[in-house]
Amino acid sequence: MYSIGVDLGGTKILTGVLDEQGTLHHTLEVPTMATDGPDAVIHRIRGTVDQMLHRVGHANVIGIGIGAPGPLNPHTGTVLGPPNLPGWDHIPLRDKLHEVYGLPVYLENDANAAAIAEHRFGAGQGSRQMVYITVSTGIGGGVVVDGQVRQGAAGGFAEIGHMIVDPAGARCHCGNRGCLEAVASGTAIARMASEAFRRDLTAEQVAELAARGDKKARQVLDTAFSYLGIGLVNIVNLYDPDLIVIGGGVARIGPPLFDALHEAVLHNYFRQSYGMDVPIVPAHLGTKAGVIGAAALPWLACRTAVDSHPC
Ligand SMILES: [Zn+2]
């Protein structure tokens, strides 16, 4: 048996077929073309799902999981209007796909989906209390406790990117000041560097310059990493995790980032009294984490199902 996962992003839709052991059998990527609006995007999602069903056979599929940008409500299966999906104002994506295919459909925040994937099949295997953080153009996260991703009352949980780490810091697109995402994401690194160098630079270019010993670039990274460290200390104090997994493009900077984060957590004076070190490790599944996690949703529902689930 198989499940189908859809990783719906602002720029691309990645759809794949997963078996229960976590092996991805087929994948298909198409551009989202988000400006066309929800109907056109859902039509493209269906195009990819149709192809997957054709490949493995409808009768062999237990369900469809979708990872989508927040805000969304996983309980009602509704996408609530993410900034990178224009026109998606309370779109019942789960029900729309269920009506077409007659299969169980699950919707989850994309960062939560990636957290599930890393926990089940990636860097977080065996962890009982795992925090996953993705640092790329934005910052997101998920908390997995005893194999289940934590969900809040309104479906929003672990919005780590909008934790305020500097009330006098840069304005976030959410309206607040000094959100972790506004001061430590790849976008924030690029912005700070462009101000310091007076030319446009990507976060990747900043990392390259810093690796070659450029002091200004290193300073920009140090600033971003120190904010990430503050965020991490808050997370450790809140969740008491046994493992922190860091994914996203910025994690590819590698040792300079992980050393800075270890240092920050090591100097977390409250936590020190427990005499425990929290491992901080890179994610394993890369850009496939989202689609694998989305496809894992029907399997997770299977394991907890009490009704007549097709699996
Ligand atoms: Zn914010």
The full set of domains in the chain, from first to last, is 2-109+287-304 (3.30.420.40), 123-283 (3.30.420.40)
Q: How far away, in angstroms, is 174 Cα from ligand 1 center?
A: 4
Q: Which residues surround ligand 1, an ion (CB under 5 A)?
A: 162, 172, 174, 176, 179
211, 108, 218, 109: which is closest to 160 by C-alpha? 109
How far is it, in rounded angstroms, from Cα 173 to Cα 192? 16
Distance, in Å, from the CA atom of 209 to the CA atom of 291, rounded to the nearest integer, reads 32
Cα 184 to ligand 1 centre (Å): 12
List own/partner pairs for 90-95 with CB under 8 A and 24 or more apart: 91/38, 91/42, 93/42, 93/66, 93/68, 94/66
Q: Tokens 């690194």 identify what position?
A: 189
Mapped onto helix, strand or coil, the DSSP state of residue 159 is coil
> If you measure from the C-alpha of residue 97 to the centroid of ligand 1, how many angstroms do you get, rounded to a whole number?
31
What per-residue confidence (pLDDT) applies to 274? 64
Ligand 1 mean position to 73 CA, how many Å?
A: 19
Cα separation, 170 vs 178, in Å, equals: 5
Please list the pLDDT of the chain residue by residue as tens digits (311 residues): 999 999 999 899 999 999 999 999 999 999 999 999 999 999 999 999 999 999 999 999 999 999 999 889 999 999 998 888 999 999 999 999 999 999 999 999 999 999 999 999 999 999 999 999 999 989 999 999 998 888 877 766 778 999 999 999 999 988 999 999 999 999 999 999 999 999 999 999 999 999 999 999 999 999 999 999 999 999 998 888 999 999 999 999 999 999 999 999 888 766 666 656 789 999 999 999 999 999 999 999 887 765 555 56
Structure tokens at 106: 């699950």
The backbone torsions φ and ψ at residue 179, rounded to the nearest 5 degrees and listed phi first, read -65, 150
State how far the alpha carbon of 65 is from the alpha carbons of 29, 95, 260, in Å: 16, 12, 36
